[in-house]
Chains A and B, each alone.
Chain A
Amino acid sequence: MTTISQPAVPVKSPTRRGSWSRRAPLLPALVITLVLTQIPFALTIWYSLQHWNLLNPGHKGFAGLDNFRTTFGDDTFWKAIKNTVVLTGGATIASMLVGLVLAMLLQKKFPGRGIARTLAITPFFVMPVAVTLFWRSAMFDPSFGLLGWLTDSVGLPRVNWLSEQSMLSIIMITSWRWTPFAMLVLLAGLQALPDDQLEAARVDGANWWQQFRNVVLPHLRPFLELTALLLSMNIIQTFGEIALLTAGGPAFGTTNITYYVYLRAFNSFDFGTASAYGLVTLVLTIALALPALRLLSGIFQKEGRR
């Protein structure tokens, strides 16, 4: 192994000493992330193989695959998975669509644009638990809620949002919260669009829709992918809204996997099965997320070449 004095500029084949001094800054973050994510993960695997119910302390010991049999045979678990897909997909798509429209509107200069944008991004910053409780009593409530008053004003029948349209309610409040974030990323994307391309399209006589389809949309693609990824990653973890609005009901109709594992662990105190649920959830999430991760890795490759 050749030893060269510290290279002044990055070189392609680092010496051993060089490569260590390069890796050192990475280590603290890497070690902490490893410890905080992989130890719980390893322990979850271990617990999932145990009988361990706090309400039944006598029955403790190795369970083999019992907990997994329970998990796979549990209809509610599959329902929770379905709900997770509906909620995550619905809220992600809704946030992206509204966010895109709003970003396109706010991209152009008009009087008070700064204030309009400031107002539009506010739902992203307010505390979710707080606004969820407020929505529950002031927006969704069948007799006092603003939504009821709105449907009355346009002559529609009153809806008892949280019990009749529970999933829609949760998708609504979740999209409301994440739309500003989508808008911000997409606005950033639109502002990075080089003018000459639109100019060229305009000169060629392309109408608004053609400009949008052939210039804006292809340019926005990586931003749309990134938005979809960040939104779904966050919305899949939705917990507070469900806990506070519907408590997963009615009939587990709004229970997503996060909330279901929580119910198993902290309501039935069945740590063994809850761990199995958690583990299966993890594997399924990763299976669903792998295509998304591959996509992201594509983005890395594109922007990472230098």
Chain B
Amino acid sequence: MTATALHPSEKKTVSPGPHNRPRRRRRRPANDQASWPVAVLGWLGSLVLFSPIAYMLLKSFQTETDAASPSPKLVFHPTLEHYRSTFQAGFWAYAGNSIVVAVVSTILVLLLATPAAYALSVRPVRKTQDVLFFFISTKMMPVAAGIIPIYVVAQHLHLLNTVVVLLILHLGMNLPLAVWMIRSFLQEVPGEVLEAAAIDGAGRIRIMRSIVLPLVRPGLWSTALLCCVFSWNEYFYAVNLTTTTSTLPLFMQKFLSFGELYTAQVAAVATVVSIPVVILGWVCQRSLVRGLLFGAVK
């Protein structure tokens, strides 16, 4: 671990050299096997975190009468009634909007953030620190502080209650995080590799395409995953700027009025709207862990 923390004001550039090469990670030896109490506690902790979701799944298949019993009912006649009524309540329109907003904004974020991160890392511009600082500082802004002008501008541009306004705002919401994450992944690409490629006569775009991007692919995946999750679940802009043409959190909110009485119905809707990102998260968890490990800090 390098213990030499530099003060932010010291703009010190260290030329690439062997002593700065990222430390190679070694495979862990076999003594990493958990003792049984650790295994039991690990399982227990995971199950506790998951239990509300398991409970939600369980309730979604119950009738309202079963769901309203004061003690958890584990034996019951399962029913799909609530799933049926979920899809009949106009689910697909909202789902379509959610997919468009999440997918398009994530693609745009990656397209914009990757070159920016590249400019900030592999080929640093002057004042890199300041620019990074600026990007991350926008994430500190409370969303509430900007909502009134956004509302007024959207109204003037006739963008209220449209998918476009959410798309733009989700782009703005995720872009700083993505620049910052992708840059830290790019930092991991050893400078020597790039130099070698440049000496071999590879152009900038070729280096990017055939060396840099494949190396940071897990990082890009985890960035995309996080952007997708944040966009899919975003509620504040949706509730303030859209009403009928909106995304799934607002569809969910329609069930608020009878939330107290219809637990099973709420459970079914909640399950349906959550499933796409949950599956995406499960599938991509390896790249998420690797991505965070890769880029977070060394």
Which A residues have a C-beta under 8 Å from some C-beta of B?
Answer: 8-10, 12, 14, 19, 22-26, 28-30, 32-33, 36-37, 39-41, 43-44, 47, 98, 101-102, 105-113, 116-131, 133-139, 141, 143-144, 146, 148-149, 176, 179-180, 184-185, 187-189, 191-192, 194-196, 218-219, 222-223, 226, 233, 236-237, 239-240, 243-244, 257-262, 265-266, 271, 274-275, 278-279, 281-282, 285-286, 289, 293-294, 296-306
Contacts and interface: CB of A to CB of B under 8 A. Distances in A.
Contact of B8 (A266, A294, A303): A294
A39 B149 contact: yes
A13 to B, nearest CB: 10
A302 B20 CA distance: 11
Contacts of A189: 293, 296-297
Nearest to B71: A149
B32 A108 contact: yes
Given A138-B67, A180-B49, A279-B145, 11 more contacts: A113-B34, A116-B43, A118-B285, A123-B49, A128-B249, A130-B249, A243-B239, A261-B145, A286-B140, A305-B14, A306-B14
Contacts of A119: 46-47, 49-50
Interface centre among B122, B269, B292 (most CB of A within 10 A): B292
A144 B146 contact: no
A185 B222 CA distance: 12
**A-B pairs, 9 with minimum CB distance:** A25-B115, A36-B172, A108-B34, A188-B293, A110-B39, A43-B149, A130-B270, A40-B146, A278-B145
Contacts of B50: 119-120, 122-123
Contacts of B123: 10, 22
10 contacts: A33-B138, A39-B149, A47-B149, A127-B277, A137-B259, A148-B70, A184-B289, A188-B290, A240-B235, A261-B144
B20 to A, nearest CB: 5
A176 B52 contact: yes
Interface in B64-81: 67-72
Contact of B6 (A122, A301, A306): A301
A262 B187 contact: no
Nearest to A116: B46
Contacts of B89: none
A148 B72 CA distance: 11
A102 B42 contact: yes
Interface in B251-298: 252-253, 255-256, 259-263, 266-267, 269-271, 273-274, 277-278, 280-282, 285, 288-290, 292-293, 296-298
**B-side interface mostly:** helix
A26 B53 contact: no
A280 to B, nearest CB: 9
A285 B140 contact: yes
B187 A303 contact: yes
Contact of A305 (B12, B199, B240, B277): B12
A106 B42 contact: yes
Nearest to B29: A195
